[in-house]
Amino acid sequence: MADYKNINIRNKRATFDYEILEEYVAGVVLVGTEIKSIRMGKASLTESYCYFERGELWIRGVNIAEYSWGTCNNHVPKRDRKLLLNHKELNKLERALQDRGLTVVGLRLFLNERGLVKIAVGLARGRKSYDKREYIKENDARREMDKAMKAYKR
C-alpha cells in the first residue's frame, strides 16, 4: 500500500505529446471508493483530456481502479468526473479552447496537505513529430550534462 501523503500520479505522455501553455489546479468530485483507491495509488491519467459541458469542466479518460475491498457499491473505473475551478478560470479556459489546436489535458493527480484529491490540468498545444524528436534530443543533452556535472563534482 502506498503512503497516501506521497500520492503523485503523473501523465508523462502529456508533456511529450503536448506543449503546456498554462497550468491550473482543480478539485475533483469523487465517490467514496474512488478516494480509497487513489490513496492506494491505483489511478492513471494516460489518456485523460478535459471538455466543457453546460459551462462545467469535465475530465474523461482518468482510470481509477476499483477498490479491492469494495462491494456492489464500487465505482465505475473510467467514468467522467467533474472538475472544480472558479468561474474566472473556467471562463478563461473555455475562451482558450475556442482557438484551433488547443486542448486541456490532465497532467498530475495528487493529494494536497488537507488530504483532498487535486488534478493539475494544462492548457496545451499538440506537438508535431519533429518537435517530439527535438524534445527527446534536448532531454538527452540535459541528462548527459547532469551526468557530467555529477562526475565533475566528485
Q: What is the pLDDT of residues 51-89, one digit of tens each?
A: 898 988 999 888 888 776 666 777 667 788 899 999 999
User: Cα–Cα distance between 11 and 59 in angstroms, integer?
Assistant: 14
Superfamily of structural domain 4-128: Small protein B (2.40.280.10)
Q: Phi and psi (nearest 5°) for 42?
A: -100, 65
Which grid coordinates are listed for 61?
479518460
Give mean pLDDT, residues 34-50.
83
Cβ within 8 Å of residue 103, ≥6 positions away = 18, 49, 50, 97, 123, 124, 125, 126
Residue of 112, 136, 33 lying closest to 76 (CA atoms): 33
Cβ within 8 Å of residue 133, ≥6 positions away = none
Q: By the 8 A CB rule, do 64 and 38 touch? A: yes
What's the one-letter identity of residue 50?
C
Cβ within 8 Å of residue 75, ≥6 positions away = 31, 33, 34, 37, 64, 66, 67
Which grid coordinates are listed for 41?
495509488
pTM of the model as a whole? 0.75
pLDDT(25) > 90: yes
Place of cell 497516501: 4
Mean residue pLDDT across the chain:
83
